[in-house]
Structure 1
Amino acid sequence: MAEGIDDKTRDYHLRAGDYSDWFRHQIRDKDLALETTVVEKDETLSSQESRKVVLDAVPRRYTAPATAPDAQR
């Protein structure tokens, strides 16, 4: 869903701290919120860079690996 938001709108909410606030209070993921806060405050990141960092963080935390690791025998 976030991929469909235009840069101007996304940047507004990013700089306002809305993403980390949402992760902290709605998703209740303190670590994801802290990771996102760093991006929100980093004004050296371009719109595309900050979008990528945040969009990469979510599946890294919430997507299971495609294959299960081999069981120890």
Structure 2
Amino acid sequence: MAEVEFFVPAIHCAHCVHTIKMELQELNGVQGVEADVTSKKVRVKYEAPASPESIAKLLEEINYPPQRI
């Protein structure tokens, strides 16, 4: 299992965190999602077929464009 972390400046509240977790957990291969309002970081544990690129693409699609750390 691999892990990737992103900085997501658009995280402003608990609702943002909830939305990100719910959407990413539906992505095939994602095993766990942690998101934090204070640090604006999202950490994702995943395995194939998920990838850092597919995770980043989904974050962009739901209006939370990430920056890779």
TM-score class, shorter: 0.3 to 0.5
Larger relative contact order (C-alpha < 8 A, sep ≥ 6)? 2
What TM-score do the two structures reach when normalised by structure 1?
0.33
What TM-score do the two structures reach when normalised by structure 2?
0.34
Higher fraction of strand: 2
Higher fraction of helix: 1
